[in-house]
Amino acid sequence: MVELEQIEIPSQDEIGALNAATEVLNAETNESDELKDPAQKSNDEDSKPTAEYALHILFTRFVRFSEKKLTLFASQNNTNVEDVLGSGADPEFDLILESLGHVAQRRPKPVIDSLMYWRKTKRDQFNVSLASLYILCRALMEVVRQTPHEVLGVRLSEKLEDIIFNQLITTDLVVAHNDGIRGANWRYLARLLGEMSAFRLASISHRFTIELDKKMSTVTSANSKKDESKVTLLLETMQFLKIQMYP
């Protein structure tokens, strides 16, 4: 028998994130149900509880593992983020992230929305906020890698691309290049866009072209060294784009 003292009470952040996961899944389910005919709705009824339960249980594990890792990272000064939060640092956490990607293969929206909600709860403390962005990037990478782009859909792809690109360009690239956690986040954001460029190359390339034009137009003799560094780092980011060469 499990003693009362052994039961792990979820924190308020955990409860909020888990409730959000259930709400976005229900909302997404109801929205998709409106587009189905009655026969298809009936056939899908049996699968709803299973899908909701699977995401709830999985997201419970994600939140609890993430909370512990963020606490560990925040308690250690000058720690390499990849040593604590990176791939291979904790095989069990790696499996949780991979499983989130697996769930997203058929229903990416509730997974992405739940992850975004969780990330919003981590923006108060500086180091925790930066580390939570790293975890978010890792989770989104699994979603993007495992979800067929036709399942991800145009609207959700555009939304995700917009969030990632805006996060990337609002990062101080010069500081990120010389800062551990910021640099790790910058690289992951760039890799995420690179992964999405496999099926959204034209849109992502266009965003980079516009941003490069803006940066080039601000290069002046007074601060040319700093501006040139920003342009150089932006070009380095573009190396992750998956450009297909045709004969």
Tens-digit pLDDT profile for residues 161-215? 999 999 998 887 777 777 788 889 999 999 999 999 999 999 999 999 998 888 8
- CB-count burial class (<10 Å; 0-12, 13-18, 19+) for 79: middle
**What is the sign, positive or negative, of the torsion defined by CA atoms of 135, 141, 142, 147?**
positive
Decide if pLDDT at 7 tops 50: no
* pLDDT tens per residue, range 210-246: 988 888 877 765 566 667 777 888 888 899 998 876 5
- The one-character DSSP state at 193 is H
pTM: 0.80
Tell me, what's the pLDDT at 150? 94
SS3 string, 21-82, reads HHHHHHHHHHHHHCCCCHHHHHHHCCHHHHHHHHHHHHHHHHHHHHHHHHHHHHHCCCCCHH
Tell me, what's the pLDDT at 205? 94
**How long, in residues, is the chain?**
247
